[in-house]
Amino acid sequence: MPNAYISGTGMHVPERVVTNDDLREQYGIDTTHEWIVQRTGIEQRHYAPVGVGTAELAVPAAQQAIANAGLQARDLDMILFATLSPDMHFPGGAVMLQRRLGVCDGDSPRFMGAMDIRNQCSGFLYGLATATAMVQTGGCKHVLVVGSEIHSAALDFTTRGRTVTTLFGDAAGAVVVSATDEDRGVRGWWLGADGRHVDALKMEIFNTAKRPFMEMESTDGYARISPEMLWPHMEGKTVFKNAIERMCQALMQACWEKNTQLEEIDLFVFHQANMRINQYVAKQLNIPDSKLIHNIHKMGNTTAATIPTLLSEAVDTGRLTRGMKVAMVAFGAGFTWGAALVDW
């Protein structure tokens, strides 16, 4: 059985920076820089321009990961696309990214599989686990795993929405998972979910239990949607408490099953939902600050893009190098969570 390792990383962050003060001054949200920084650690986030969708945002990140793996897009055997903010209800982002990568065109087109993963902030780790399994079973040699989010298109930019709106930013990150005979790569992954909490963090928009799924406003096809269904809903304290518990458990389970001490891990890559969540997790597990990397202060919570952008930055800055032992952990809506141990 081949090992599955991360052969390339890439990221893309849209140019426009929106500071906490901008949320107040440009959008009129009743908030302060101090409140947001103190509760979350977020100082700014990036928003993509109007006209750019989630799949398009992912293109530079995917291209960079593919190039860093020493490959061309047509060498890929599978595209996995993790997002909670897809371009449209269907089809998914993976086929849209595939089209934009140009692999279906030309004299020798490639029509590799393309699949969406809908596991919110854990989406990248669900993707990494899926890619690893596909590579280890010999079905694929190279799998592109992308996390891409455009949150700014669907946030309530009024004071009513401030608790959620201040948290999220737009970004895309990507890795290529490749087969190798070398003794390295993804050593294990652990995924979990607790569907009892589906209502704690959600964005309903469509309700297929209704007939029709949205209230029709008139006979000419326009529909009405209430703010409760239109905007994300979050029970912040429940999310906060469960995130700490589940992230600690997932990391401990990963280390226990792989007979690895937490002290042996060189770099911890935590999902970036809230700096305070990560500080609690690190404190409970006695993880020193020097082994943690963050980007929440400058990017906010970028959901499925968080872990691949952290990896990409860490590789580019020399913080993450060959031979290091890496632990990744994430928690998100669902609730869902995941961890992975990687020998880089």
Ligand X SMILES: CC(C)(COP(=O)(O)OP(=O)(O)OC[C@H]1O[C@@H](n2cnc3c(N)ncnc32)[C@H](O)[C@@H]1OP(=O)(O)O)[C@@H](O)C(=O)NCCC(=O)NCCS
Give the active site residues. Answer: 121, 271, 301
CA gap 332, 82 in Å, rounded: 13
Query: Residue 222 is encoded by which pair of tokens?
Result: 């326009």
List interacting residues with ligand X (CB under 6 A): 31, 35-36, 39-40, 121, 162-163, 166-167, 234, 236-237, 239-240, 243, 273-274, 277, 301, 332
Residue nearest to ligand X according to CB distances in the complex:
236
Q: How far is the CB of 220 from ligand X (least distance, A)?
A: 38
Residue 93 · residue 54 · CB < 8 Å: yes
Pick from 158, 169, 174, 154: which is nearest to 67 by CA? 174
Q: How far is the CB of 309 from ligand X (least distance, A)?
A: 15
DSSP conformation letters of 101-160? HTTTSSSS----EEEEE--GGGHHHHHHHHHHHHHHTTS-SEEEEEEEE--GGG---SGG
Q: How far is the CB of 183 from ligand X (least distance, A)?
A: 34
Q: Is the CB of 73 or the CB of 247 nearer to ligand X?
A: 247
The amino acid at 315? V
Q: How far is the CB of 280 from ligand X (least distance, A)?
A: 11
Residue 159 phi, psi (nearest 5): -60, -30
Q: Is the CB of 280 or the CB of 344 nearer to ligand X?
A: 280
Query: Residue 267 is encoded by which pair of tokens?
Result: 């770099």
Q: Is the CB of 136 or the CB of 159 nearer to ligand X?
A: 159
Who's near 121: CB < 8 A, 6+ residues apart? 271, 273, 301, 303, 304, 306, 330, 331, 332, 333, 336
Q: Is the CB of 83 or the CB of 274 nearer to ligand X?
A: 274
CA gap 296, 343 in Å, rounded: 25
Q: How far is the CB of 7 from ligand X (least distance, A)?
A: 28
Counts of helices then strands in the chain (DSSP H, E) = 11, 15
Q: Is the CB of 23 or the CB of 61 nearer to ligand X?
A: 23
Q: How far is the CB of 13 from ligand X (least distance, A)?
A: 19
Helix (H) or strand (E) holding 64: helix 54-68
Q: Is the CB of 76 or the CB of 239 nearer to ligand X?
A: 239
Sign of the four-CA dihedral 99, 101, 103, 105: positive
Tokens 């930055």 sit at which residue? 313
Query: Residue 19 is encoded by which pair of tokens?
Result: 């500071």
CA gap 310, 313 in Å, rounded: 5
Q: How far is the CB of 23 from ligand X (least distance, A)?
A: 8
CA gap 159, 247 in Å, rounded: 30
Q: Is the CB of 142 or the CB of 233 nearer to ligand X?
A: 233
